[in-house]
Every structure is written in structure tokens, then in C-alpha cells.
Structure 1
Amino acid sequence: MIDQVRPSELADWFAHDASAQPVLLDVREPWEVQTASVVPQGFTLVAIPMNEIPARISELDPAQRIACLCHHGARSQRVAAFLAQNGFAEVANVAGGIDAWSSQHDPSVPRY
């Protein structure tokens, strides 16, 4: 089961394991990241489009907590499940995606 974490809860979810720098994995397309993005605070932001994850999985560290982010949460849920099936133990989906991030957590992030 993949954890579903609201944007407002992400810092607490990341704080459960301080052994490695947590990662927010943005799986949206480059144009989406340019349109609206988050400012990393207490985590590393990594942007890899969903369709590139299988070929670029080696760029991610299974020892890190990774929360996946997309526009509304569907693509990131699929990526989180894929990572979990490939040995990543601490994986979550940002529920509601960047849209929820903007509406619930940081209104300076544009909605699209």
C-alpha cells in the first residue's frame, strides 16, 4: 500500500527518517514543471518524467524516502507503485498533486 500524503503533511512524512535527504520526485512533463513547480524546503527536488522512470531508476536511491508528485496524483501513484515493486521501501504519493499543493499549501504555485 502506497502512503497518500497531503502537501501539508509532507514535511512530517519526510521527517520520519532523517538518515538520508528525502526526495520529492516530480514525474510531470518538462513543460508542466516550467508552468508550476515547488520550492524545495528540507528535501531534494528531482524531476524525471513518468515515461523516463524505468530507464532512469538508477538515478534514485532506494535508501531515501521518496514522495512522488504529478498534476493531480494519478501518474505519481503509478510511479510510486512502480518504485515500490522495484525495491524502494519508503515511497509515498502526494495526494492531489501540484494542484493540491497550490490550493492547500502554497498559493504562490500557479494552477493549470
Structure 2
Amino acid sequence: MITHISPKQLAEWIAGATDGIRPLVLDVREKWEQQTASIAPADFELVAIPMGEIPQRLAELDPARPIACLCHHGMRSLRVAGFLESQGFESVANITGGIDAWSAELDPAVPRY
């Protein structure tokens, strides 16, 4: 089941990770979007793979690792989260509202576009 978390809830979701596995935030936006606005990893690893490249690059992701998907507003990331879940990934979350909500809720220094 896909968990829906707001940017403010990400730290709590990360803290809930078990077995000492460091969670991953998967940014599925296009490269130009990542260059326009990005986040700095805190207690998580940040990996950027555009949504269209996920199927070909699936082997780069660990199905046992908690993954929170991020996009601009939360729709592409929800689709990727659903795809990952269908591929057997065990702990998948969608960051609802995406980087736009991240800017509004957590870090106004992150540009909105």
C-alpha cells in the first residue's frame, strides 16, 4: 500500500524506517526541473531518475529499501510509487504536493515554478 506523506511528515516517515536501512527520496522530475528547484538530503539519500527512465533503471533501486517519491505536485510521483509497488517494492510513499508543497511547508528558499 502506498503511504501518502506531506513534506512535513517526511522526517517522521524516515524515523520509522526499520532495520537500519536508510530511506531514499526518489526525485522523478525532469533534469530541468531539478536544476530549477531542488532539495538537500538530510537523513535520507536523494536519487534523481526522471519518471520516463524508471522502467529501464529499475535495477538501480533496492526493493527492500523505503522509497519516498517526489515530483512537482505529487501526481507523477504517485504514478511511480504505484509502479514500484507493482514491481514488488515493499515500502513506498508518495510525497503529496511535491516540491511545490516542500517550498510552501518546509523551505521557502526552494523556488516555486
How would you bin the TM-score normalised by the shorter chain?
over 0.9
Query: What's the secondary structure of 1:83's corresponding residue?
Result: helix
Alpha carbon RMSD of aligned pairs, Å? 0.7
Unaligned 5+ runs, structure 1: none
Aligned position for 1:55: 56
| Matched residue, 2:8 | 8
Displacement of 1:63 after TM fit?
A: 1.4
1:57-112 Cα distance to aligned partner (Å, 9 max, x none): 10001111100000000000000000000010100000000000000111110000
Q: Quote the Cα distance in structure 2 between the aligned partners of 1:63 and 1:89.
A: 6
Mapped partners of 2:66, 2:3: distance in 1: 11
Q: Which residue of 2 aligns with 1:34?
A: 35
> SS state of the match for residue 67, structure 1?
strand
Q: Which residue of structure 1 lines up, in the alignment, with residue 88 of structure 2? A: 87
Runs ≥4 in structure 1, deviation > 2 angstroms? none
User: Which structure 2 segments of 5+ residues have no match?
Assistant: none
| 2:110 match | 109
| Aligned equivalents of 1:16, 1:87: Cα separation in 2 | 20
Letter of the aligned partner of 1:59 in structure 2? E
CA distance in 1, matches of 2:67, 2:106: 19
- After superposition, residues 71-82 of structure 1 pair within 5 angstroms as 71-82=72-83
1:99 aligned partner, one-letter code: D
